[in-house]
Amino acid sequence: MDIYATPTMGERIKGNPYVGRGIVIGKTADGKKAAVAYFIMGRSANSRNRVFVERDGALFTEPFDASLVEDPSLIIYAAIRRYKNRLIVTNGDQTDTVYQLMKSGATFEEALNTRAFEPDAPNLTPRISGCLTFKEDDFSYKMSILKSADAEGTACNRYNFSYVALPGVGHFIHTYVTDGNPIPTFQGEPERVGIGNDLTAFATDIWENLNEENKISLVARFIDLESGDEEQVLINKNQ
């Protein structure tokens, strides 16, 4: 296998019934913009009853129908927040942990050292996180996954990855390998993906190749490295 291959996001996820929640971070092919995407999938009625909404400069998951919410603890959270020159994106309420502890001077890794995988046995869903740091018309980025060390959840293994942003290259980390019972969790390093210059094409490639039954919401964003201007595509299956 060529570790430097750059298949598209669509090629990475096509035909896979359940990759769970996923984060993509990278740079556009022309080197001018940062690219970020976050999507959620769900198998239960509680998980599927969600939409993405923007509020107070952050992106949140919220119930589509509040009357149908069974347990909001692991499905309702801030997914994306900004802190100074950093953009934080995660699959749970560790977004707020990173945001608050960075205010106190902690690093991305130090903040996540206070958290562990989700307490949703038997799946023990990993917490996946990313952070972009913008500086001098460029950026670098980090990704993290917090995983159970065993089937019983007796300990947490922590994996951190740091990247130089290269034109046309991104990395994709997701919670699950595919569907199952319990669901097999993500293995190895974040997967390399190719990123072009068209935001709509980037978002469409992800959305159209996510499993139709299980996909819920997607946000994709390009950030101009010179001006800071943002473009965004936000898709909710529940409208």
Whether 168 contacts 196, CB under 8 Å: yes
Residue 4 maps to a domain: no
Whether residue 115 lies inside any domain: the answer is yes
CATH of the domain at 155: 3.60.20.20
pLDDT band at 2 (very low <50, low <70, confident <90, very high): low
Domain span at residue 72? Answer: 9-236
| Furthest-apart CA atoms within the chain: distance in Å | 49
From the list 26, 1, 4, the residue with the least C-alpha distance to 173 is 26
pLDDT of 172 reads 98
Query: Domain count of the chain?
Result: 1
What mean pLDDT is predicted for residues 52-76?
91
Percentage of residues in the chain having pLDDT higher than 70: 98
Is residue 69 included in any domain, yes or no? yes
pLDDT band at 73 (very low <50, low <70, confident <90, very high): confident
- Contact partners, residue 45, CB within 8 Å, separation at least 6: 68, 70
Mean pLDDT is lowest, of 3-7, 8-12, 191-195, for: 3-7
Q: What is the pLDDT of residue 3?
A: 61
Any domain includes 28: yes
Does residue 113 belong to any structural domain of this protein?
A: yes
Question: Which tens digits make up the pLDDT trace of 12-41?
Answer: 999 999 999 999 999 999 999 999 999 999
Whether 2 is in a domain gets the answer: no
Residue 3 falls within a domain, yes or no?
no
- In whole angstroms, give the CA distance from residue 198 to residue 172: 18
Distance (Å) of CA 58 to CA 174, 187, 239 = 21, 29, 20
User: Residues 217, 35: contact at Cβ < 8 Å?
Assistant: no
- Full-model pTM: 0.97
**Per-residue confidence at 71, pLDDT binned at 50, 70, 90?**
confident
